[in-house]
Amino acid sequence: MIFLEIKNATVIGAGIMGHGIAEVLALSGLNVVVNDVSQDFLDRARQNVQASLSKMKDSGKINESAMNDTLARLSFSTDIKNSVTKADLIVEAVPEVLDIKRNVIMEVESSCSPEAIIASNTSNFRITELQNGSLRPQRIVGMHFFNPPVVLKLVEVVKGEKTDDRTFEAVYDLSRKIGKTPIRVVKDSPGFVVNRINAPESLFFCLLLDRKIDTPASIDLFAKSQGLPMGPYELMDYVGIDTVVHSLEYYAKELSPEYGKCSVFKQMMEQNKLGKKTGHGFYTWENGKAQIPSGEPSSKVELMDVLAIELNEAVKLIEEGVASPDDIETGVRLGMNRPFGPISVAQGLTNAEIKKKLEDLGSKFESSVFAPARSIAEGKLKEVISGNTGIRKEEKPPSTTAEAQIDEPVLMVKKDRVATVYLNNGRLNLLNSAVLDGLEKRLLEVREDKEVNVVVVTGKGTVFSAGAELSQFFSGGIDFMQASRRGQSIFRLLSEMNKITIAEIKGYALGGGFELSLACDIRVSSQEAKIGFPELQRGLVPGWGGTQRLAKLIGSSRASYLILTAERITGKEAFDMGIVTRTFGAETIDEDVQKFAHDLSRKVAPGAAYLAKLLVNKGSETSLDDGLTMEAISMGLVYGTEDLKEGISSFMQKREPEFKGR
């Protein structure tokens, strides 16, 4: 499919979302006009964009030239007709009122190019409703950013009933080009994915107060004790109670009248207690922060209540064909700023326990909204989340270049006889289930590649790995133990592989990242790298081989000290202790390690290297006599090989060997 070329954009609405979207588009190289009815709104938007860009420059995310270029691509206008005349894309970001949005779209259509795309940033309204009465409904699509647009990665790309494929794919493609992670909402639904999953939660938290089950502060303290950055009521205060009420009213009309049962929120709106925007809501707001009373976390709400409600709504979305399980998982994780989404939760729980929890909630609150979805009621939870839904998933062609694999959690680049495996999970390259799956996939692939002699493991960017993503969902101790065993088995591929494996440590190698490096045959590091085991400070122990491999490497005394004190050491100190064998400068380590690996791949016979690895690793686990016997047997195995003949011949002829692994 040939995507439309989008160079010029217009954003209608200069509010928090509007000017944030305009900034994102301009940062990505588009010329952007920001339009609003008031010059005061535009002046405020310009100041906010300038402040945001200045903050990015000060933090080193962009340089001064990029900041100035972005500002130069932005213009501001109160004339809607002139604002949209040259636009390839018009993003509507006006208040969440259906009639206002429809009127803006009709006005835009009368002045824009026939080929222009009109994208709505609505968070709730079905795109099909915005297409009603349109002259070109096929050119209208949902492009829902999340607040703040400059920070959050998610964009929901929503297909209305009349949106054509060309428009839909053009906006999806653009969302990727501007650095966002889009998900496909292929069937129009109120709230799309993230807000649709939030809808029954909002009702749940309202009914808790309606029935005086507990206080907002206690429930928020409980939520924070579970690792969430904000409790539900603090978040609603931040968003605006009026916004929550309007959303529930819309869902009551579109999804179920039971969304209209909530009374506490309506009373607050009538009293103008809207949260942060009025200074008072569930809490008093001072200097942009909610003043939450101290107290004890609630004991009347369970984490499983919320997880079951989210999962139930996610299953409904899959059943309705709204989005794929993968896109739902990505949407909740990125849109709600969570470490995991409902699909991950489902994989760690049984159908029976989810069904029982939902039946209990439905009975307790006398609401069918919480009743088990059809697939859960029929015991088919695992089947429905497996992805056998017929919903299109983005196809990623196989490739050995990092550029083509850029969205994958683990990348691999092969050059000559060296394969470099890159962890690719954000700035810190944290290890989670997706990274472990990707690492296993790459290692199994390269293990069978007879053209590769050396494997380098490192992190994309300036950090090796700062450790495991601790907030992943686990349903219990057995589940956690199995995750430990899985990590151990994947790391073991490195130590038992028929290749020489090198860990290139830079930035941080902490916890699971340090354990990953210990599984490699050779460790090299920048002198400034920070290395250590912080597990005991988190109430954990190293669980991916760290206690065993480190003790075998440097002795139990030094290993005990590093593990029990959680002290971080530098790459230079690690070299002095024998943990790493070479150090390089931080600025040149990538280049230096590649040269080291390529030199090694040419001068060492791969078959002999594999046997030597086995002798070293297994020799420490057996007696000296047995080890010497294994060594002698290995000598017999290499005798008569082509590589032995080539090694001797090249030595006699004073040339570089050309080993074939035979």
The answer to whether residues 509 and 613 touch, using CB atoms and an 8 Å cutoff, is: no
21-35, 280-294, 335-349: least confidently modelled range: 335-349
Nearest by Cα to 387 from 332, 327, 333: 327
Catalytic residue among 169, 258, 329, 535: 535
For the record, the structure tokens of 3 come out as 């995507």
> Has residue 403 got a pLDDT over 60?
no
Tokens of 571: 């790459």
* For residue 612, pLDDT beyond 80: no
For 194-291, give the CATH class.
mainly alpha
Could you say which DSSP state residue 378 is in? T
Lowest mean pLDDT among 78-82, 253-257, 391-395, 527-531: 391-395
What local confidence, expressed as pLDDT, does residue 652 receive? 62
Residue 393 pLDDT greater than 50, yes or no: no
Six token digits for residue 395: 């196809």
Q: What is the pLDDT of residues 138-182, one digit of tens each?
A: 999 999 999 889 999 999 999 999 999 999 999 999 999 999 999
Residue 644 has pLDDT above 60, yes or no: no
Any idea where the domains of the chain sit in the sequence? Answer: 8-185, 194-291, 303-385, 410-599, 604-652
Q: Token pair of 130, please?
A: 């915005």
Q: What pLDDT digit, counting tens, does each position of 523-544 carry?
A: 999 999 999 999 888 788 888 9
**Is 70 exceeded by the pLDDT of residue 37?**
yes
* pLDDT score at 438: 92
Percentage of the chain exceeding pLDDT 90: 65
How many CA atoms lie within 13 Å of 377's alpha carbon, on the beta-carbon side? 10
pLDDT at 630 > cutoff 70: no
CATH number of 303-385: 1.10.1040.10
Cis peptide leading into 542, omega within 30 of 0?
no
The strand pair at 454-459 and 508-510 is best described as: unpaired
pLDDT tens, position by position, 279-308: 999 999 998 899 999 999 999 999 889 999
Q: Which long-range contacts (CB under 8 A, 24 or more apart) does 213-219 make?
A: 213/300, 213/301, 214/298, 214/300, 214/301, 215/295, 215/298, 216/282, 216/283, 217/283, 217/292, 217/293, 217/295, 218/295, 218/296, 218/297, 218/298, 218/300, 219/298, 219/301
**How far apart, in whole angstroms, are the C-alpha atoms of residue 166 and residue 117?**
10
**Phi/psi zone of residue 654: left (φ > 0), alpha (ψ -120 to 50 degrees), beta?**
left
515: which residues sit within 8 A by CB, 6+ positions away?
487, 491, 542, 544, 545, 546, 549
Let me know: does 559 contact 547? Beta carbons within 8 Å: yes
Q: What is the pLDDT of residue 637?
A: 63
Under a CB-based contact definition with an 8 Å cutoff, are residues 104 and 92 in contact? yes
Right CATH for 604-652 from 1.10.12, 3.40.50, 1.10.530, 1.10.10: 1.10.12
pLDDT of 1 > 80? The answer is: no
Predicted confidence at residue 518, as pLDDT, reads 94
Dist. CA 644–CA 661, nearest whole Å: 10
Strands 569-570 and 530-532: antiparallel
User: Using CB atoms within 10 A of its CB, is residue 337 exposed (0-12), middle (13-18) or buried (19+)?
Assistant: middle
Q: Active site includes 286? A: no
Does residue 591 carry a pLDDT above 90? Answer: yes
Residues 514, 524: Cα–Cα separation, whole Å: 12
The average pLDDT across 16-41 equals 94
Is residue 296 part of the annotated active site? The answer reads no
What is the residue-wise DSSP string for 156-184? EEE--TT--HHHHHHHHHHHHHTT-EEEE
pLDDT at 399 (0 to 100): 43
pTM: 0.70
CATH number of 410-599: 3.90.226.10
Smallest Cα–Cα separation from 313: which of 352, 341, 337, 347?
341
Does pLDDT of 621 surpass 80?
A: no
pLDDT value for 649: 60
Average pLDDT, the chain: 88
Average pLDDT rounded to a whole number, residues 119-123: 95
- What CA–CA distance (Å, rounded) separates 288 from 266? 24
Nearest to 527 by CA among 568, 585, 567: 585
From CA 235, how far away is CA 255, in angstroms rounded? 23
Which position has the higher pLDDT, 399 or 420?
Answer: 420
Pick the catalytic residue: 109, 234, 469, 515? Answer: 515
pLDDT in tens, 357-385: 999 999 999 999 999 999 999 999 988 98
DSSP-derived letter for residue 431 is: B
pLDDT at 396 over 50: no
Fold match between domain 194-291 and domain 303-385 = yes
Where does the pLDDT of residue 406 fall: very low under 50, low under 70, confident under 90, or very high at 90 and above? Answer: low
520 vs 511: CA distance, rounded Å:
15
Q: In the structure, what pLDDT confidence band is assigned to residue 579 with cuts at 50, 70 and 90?
A: very high
Query: pLDDT category, 470, cuts 50, 70, 90?
Result: low
Q: What is the pLDDT confidence band of residue 401, given thresholds at 50, 70 and 90?
A: very low
Instruction: Check whether 45 has a pLDDT greater than 50.
Output: yes
CATH architecture of 8-185: 3-Layer(aba) Sandwich (3.40)
Tens digits of residue pLDDT in 182-208: 999 999 999 999 999 999 999 999 999
What share of the chain has pLDDT > 70, as a percent?
A: 88
How many whole angstroms separate alpha carbon 145 and alpha carbon 159? Answer: 15
pLDDT at 61: 86
